[in-house]
Chain A
Amino acid sequence: MLKILVIGATSLIAQETIRHFAADGAEFFLVGLSADKLKMIQDDLLVRGAKQVSTYELDLTRLDKHQELVDTAMETLGVIDAVLVAHGTLTDQKAAEQNVDITLRELNINFLSAVSLLTILANIFEEQKRGVIAVISSVAGDRGRGSNYVYGTAMGAKSIFLQGLRNRLAKSNVTVLTVKPGFVDTPMTAHLKKNPLYSDPRRVGKAIYDAMKSERDILYVPFFWMFIMMIIRNIPERIFKKLSL
């Protein structure tokens, strides 16, 4: 049965993804900030059919703790068949523009912490010559926009890092999946006004599960975001810079 390390397990998208693996009887090592919430997810996964669920409380911006985290996960699971990296925050762009500490903190949470973890994990996967590394990025990383470029920078950088990692690990038969969700109706976006482009986290979770099983490289979810972003990426900069996006 699959053994899965889940980073940022309390993310709603992560939960909706791993529920499907639980029904398959997978074994989990969940990492998150809140012990209470991890316990609730643990109970949920066990009822759904998970074979075993361990939890690990950690503030993921503590980069110095990452090696210990991965070591503990390896010790507990024995082997890691798949990792899902799903932690992150939606940056308050206006606040970040006024305060460099906020900007750097956001880049740390949304990009550097992923780089740190993936650097450690990549070597494990490279050595075992199999497995799936799935990381949640965002369509926001496909092009910088005035309304959210700090978050976008972290996501874009993450996507490029994953591209490189994929290129490196393809030789070792390891799948690196970059997930680029569009707007998803989750606690992270609870304060934003909803529009018809918002999608149901259940649908997003199922799509990520399917993509991990079929070892995809890049997943836009829902799929129509691929076309939206294709257009957005191709607008000439001299026009794009004048748009309010």
Chain B
Amino acid sequence: MKRYESWTRQPKVNHQTIVPLHWRDELPDLSQFDKLVLPFGLGRSYGDSCLNEHGILLDVTGLNQFIAFDEETGILRCEGGVSIEEILKMIVPRGWFVPVTAGTKYVSVGGAIANDVHGKNHHTAGTFGCHIPQFELWRSDRGRVICSPTENKELYEATIGGLGLTGVILWADIQLKRIPTPFIDMECIKFRTIDEFFDLSEDSHERYHYTVSWVDCLAQEPQLGRGLFTRGNFYDPPLGAKKEPRALPMIPMPIDLPSYAVNPLTVKLFNELYYNKQLRKKIGGVIHYNPFFYPLDAINDWYKVYGKAGFLQYQFVIPYKETREPIKEIFRRIAKSGQGSPLVVFKTFGDIKSPGMLSFPRPGVTLALDFAFRGEKTLKLLDELDRIVFENGGALYPAKDARMSGASFRASYPRWEEFADYMDPKFSSSFWRRVTSS
């Protein structure tokens, strides 16, 4: 039986009803419902943006048909409930890949648009929403509406990153990218300090489509922000070489989590081992796209390692071009607190602008990490981090948030009022009510 909860299973909320959608030509009249509605896909959002307490969830995973695929242009049209996994299964053998992917392939196309997801190629490709030439919405007030950069432009921009609040995404066109093989030619490079990280980033951005780093969050100065920098491109075998290289069983992200409780000692031990898993400064090889993009998908329900109390996911972006002091200060605070898990993703965003009004990525550096939930102690640390993020022009990622204040949201997403004009009057979410009421 499907659970209608967020990925962290927090907060716990009740929904009045779940309404499954199956056929795009047989949709319920949304205006008949007496409660507000919200589309729900595969439930990979971490906070309350996929929840609608006391309201109605429209389960869109039944909208899972492909509609057309033009192998000349690489434009795929599919329904909003199709998952990235289904798409990859179909397109990779034909030499295509999704233009942008989040860290899990178990997200729906509608969810990827509504959260305007980003990936390791943000610096070269922007967000998922940058590759959606058009889509169709189902709204309570206007019925079916086609949106594109030239047709209903404002609604198009509101829907990308619009957290599912502008209507149900019935189908979308996705501009896929050509790939020579399903393998990634990658390198993993150790960096001893955060400044080395920035140097590596700068040095890699032109030559590597995909970059991402792991950071030892517990390391203190002089090794503050030490970690592993991963960069790669799709493997294009030299003429005459075999198409299928001998893939290295190499895993660029820490997934070998201990199955018992995550605590400061185990994390410290793990980080030490993980940082030193490669003795050389640089290692490289060819790896299948699955472990490269989706290391955590290999472990079902990995969040269970955090035990009953669960965890919080925290992701922010903060500018760094003028001063790197704020991000350093954040690392200092986390290291000092002894909190934070080994699962850390660190990356610089590029300056490709998304069409989305409420899109999260912006030029700067982004850090995503988990905190095993330890009550007040954890919340206090996050409040401290919030302060540094917001004072320095940063923002938090709504898809991963269950706690930022309404004032912070409104300050860091200044187009929220303009966005609200394009919301479907029948749509709402726990997240939206939270950040617009307090």
Contacts and interface: CB of A to CB of B under 8 A. Distances in A.
Interface of A: 12, 23, 36-37, 40-41, 43-44, 47-49, 185, 187, 190, 194-198, 200
List the 7 closest pairs (A to B, CB-CB), nearest first: A47-B66, A44-B65, A47-B69, A44-B66, A198-B1, A196-B1, A187-B22
Contacts of B68: 43, 47
A41 B1 contact: no
Contact of B20 (A36, A43, A190, A195): A190
Interface in B58-80: 62, 65-69, 76, 78
Contacts of A43: 65-68
Interface of B: 1-2, 20, 22-25, 62, 65-69, 76, 78, 89-90
B25 A195 contact: no
A60 B261 CA distance: 58
16 contacts: A23-B90, A36-B25, A37-B25, A40-B23, A41-B65, A43-B68, A44-B66, A47-B69, A47-B76, A47-B90, A49-B90, A185-B2, A187-B22, A190-B20, A190-B22, A195-B1
A43 B25 CA distance: 14
Contacts of A185: 1-2, 20
Nearest to A183: B1
Given A40-B23, A187-B22, A190-B20, A48 B66 contact: yes
B66 A12 contact: no
A49 B71 CA distance: 12
Given A37-B25, A40-B23, A200 B66 contact: no
- Dominant SS at the A interface? helix
A120 B361 CA distance: 61
Interface centre among A23, A43, A47 (most CB of B within 10 A): A47
A183 to B, nearest CB: 9
A213 B78 CA distance: 28
A196 B1 CA distance: 5
Nearest to A37: B23
Contacts of A190: 20, 22
Contact of B1 (A36, A37, A40, A194): A194
B44 to A, nearest CB: 16
Contacts of A187: 20, 22, 62
A200 B2 contact: yes
A23 B68 CA distance: 15
Nearest to B19: A190
Nearest to B18: A194
Nearest to B25: A36
Given A41-B65, A197-B1, 9 more contacts: A12-B22, A23-B90, A37-B25, A43-B65, A44-B67, A47-B69, A48-B90, A187-B20, A200-B2
A23 B78 CA distance: 16
Contacts of A12: 22, 62
B16 to A, nearest CB: 14
A23 B1 CA distance: 27
Contacts of B25: 36-37, 40
A196 B90 CA distance: 31
B139 to A, nearest CB: 21
A161 B1 CA distance: 32
Nearest to A197: B1
Contacts of B67: 40, 43-44, 47
A23 to B, nearest CB: 7
Contacts of A41: 65
Contacts of A44: 65-67
A222 B1 CA distance: 13
A196 B2 CA distance: 9
Nearest to A16: B64
Contacts of B89: 23
B155 to A, nearest CB: 25
Contacts of A49: 90
A187 B67 CA distance: 20
A68 to B, nearest CB: 27
A23 B22 CA distance: 22
Nearest to B23: A37
B356 to A, nearest CB: 27
Contact of B24 (A40, A195, A200): A40
Contacts of A198: 1
